Amino acid sequence: AMADQGSVLITGGGIGIGRATALAFADAGYHVIVTDVLDKQGEAVVAEINAGGGAARFQHLDVTDSKNTDAVVADAEAQFGALDVVVANAGIAHRVPLAQMSDEKWDHTFDVDLKGIMRVARAAVPAMRAKGSGAIVALSSIMGVAYGWDEHVHYSAAKSGVVGLVRGLAVELARDGIRVNGIAPGYIRTAQALSEEHSLGPAGLEKAAEFIPIGRVGEPDDIADVAVFLASHAARYMTGQTVVVDGGLLVG
Ligand code: NAD
């Protein structure tokens, strides 16, 4: 695809949902700035996009680092002008029972999963505002909407915070032509979900398929396609929403 739809910056774009999102935006004709703390994986996604005729570049971006975030966004803007789309996808989900919940573990989850979204939005919004257009898509979770998960109170709380951040930012930026929406994925087959230590693991994911109405666990591109939609003209009258994409889990 010709990269003529504008530019998109994706955090945590090296693996999982972020990687699928980078590929989907490239297919949709965007110039993709893949960012991650995982340099090798991010570079591999960029190589894959460029080999397929798309346009992408990699930048190291740790969403807990304001300076790093500001510099990467400024660098992208120097090249492309205001970003058209930001997908704030970077996230961590560590299993920690309340008894072992240190202040540090709690704060680190909030720093990545919630404050990291604010940081990239704060960096990208001024140029979007000046241009009068832009779209921000943030990753929440069904755990932030209507689903509990034991040993993940910090994660559930941070992901609930994303739903509020999306609402607040949407209202604050609507008159500047900037739309802000969230995605709340259900169980998606990624490294995070496949980790026995921090999530369901492979066997747990297979079992989950039995109680998910659509009858399978989600794949990263099930989420990526929704991110492309939310950023697109097709979603021009949507803002402040967090869309559940879970194969019917919450309603089943
Ligand atoms: P993943 O673990 O496969 O990928 C997460 C990405 O975030 C990785 O590339 C990782 O390097 C990056 N990351 C972590 N800390 C970072 C930091 N400080 N700065 C920059 N990048 C950082 O996870 P995934 O399953 O692809 O999840 C992507 C998003 O979707 C996350 O926000 C996650 O919470 C959310 N989510 C996933 C599921 C699921 O079932 N997989 C369900 C609901 C929500």
Q: Is 250 a member of any domain?
A: no
**127 versus 197: which is more confidently predicted?**
127
Nearest ligand 1 atom, CA 218: 40
The whole-number average pLDDT for the span 202-231 is 96
Percent of the chain with pLDDT over 90: 93
Q: Is 183 in the pocket of ligand 1 (CB under 6 A)?
A: no
CB 90 within 8 A of CB 12: yes
Q: Which of 17, 19, 250 to mutate to test the pocket of ligand 1 (most atoms within 8 A of CB)?
A: 17
- Find the mean pLDDT for residues 98-111: 98
Looking at the domain assignment, is residue 2 inside a domain?
Answer: no
Whether 155 is a known active-site residue: answer yes
What's the pLDDT score for residue 3? Answer: 76
Give the closest residue (by CA) to ligand 1 atom 31.
91
Q: Which of 30, 147, 155, 237 is catalytic?
A: 155
| pLDDT recorded at residue 244 | 98
Is 1 among the domain residues?
Answer: no
Report the pLDDT value the prediction gives residue 196, as an integer from 0 to 100.
Answer: 87
Tell me, yes or no, whether 235 lies in a domain. Answer: yes
Token digits of residue 198: 């921090």
Which domain, by its residues, includes 50? 7-245
Ligand 1 probe mutation, 19, 59, 89, 118, most atoms within 8 A of CB:
89
Q: Rounded to whole angstroms, how far apart are CA atoms 247 and 244?
A: 9
**208 within some domain:** yes
Q: Is the CB–ligand 1 distance for residue 42 below 6 Å?
A: no
141 neighbors 159 (Cβ within 8 angstroms)? yes
Interatomic CA distance for residues 72 and 13, integer angstroms: 14
Ligand 1 touching residue 16 (CB < 6 A)? yes
The rounded Cα 145 to chain-centroid distance in angstroms is 16
- Under a CB-based contact definition with an 8 Å cutoff, are residues 149 and 245 in contact? no
Q: Report ipTM (2 d.p.).
A: 0.99
Predicted pLDDT at 1: 55
pLDDT tens figures, 146-197: 999 889 999 999 999 999 999 999 999 999 999 999 999 999 999 989 998 8
Domain count, the chain: 1
CATH no. for residue 82?
3.40.50.720
* Minimum mean pLDDT range among 69-73, 118-122, 196-200, 207-211: 196-200
Cβ(38) to ligand 1 under 6 A? Answer: yes
Residue 198's pLDDT is what? 83
In a domain, 251, yes or no: no
Pocket lining: 72 vs ligand 1, CB cutoff 6 Å: no
Position 14 scores a pLDDT of 98
pLDDT at residue 199, rounded to an integer: 87
242: burial class by Cβ within 10 Å (0-12, 13-18, 19+)?
buried
C-beta 230 within 6 A of ligand 1: no
The whole-number pLDDT of residue 215 equals 96
Q: Is 96 part of any domain?
A: yes
pLDDT single digits (tens) 1-49: 567 899 999 999 999 999 999 999 999 999 999 999 999 999 999 999 9
What average pLDDT does range 68-83 have in this prediction?
97
* Stretch 80-90: mean pLDDT: 98
**175 inside domain:** yes
Q: Can you tell me the mean pLDDT for 58-62? A: 98
Instruction: Compute the average pLDDT of residues 118-126.
Output: 99
What rounded mean pLDDT belongs to the chain?
97
Distance from residue 16's CA to the centre of ligand 1 (Å) = 7
Does residue 33 line the site of ligand 1, with CB under 6 A? no
CA of 59 relative to ligand 1 center, distance in Å: 17
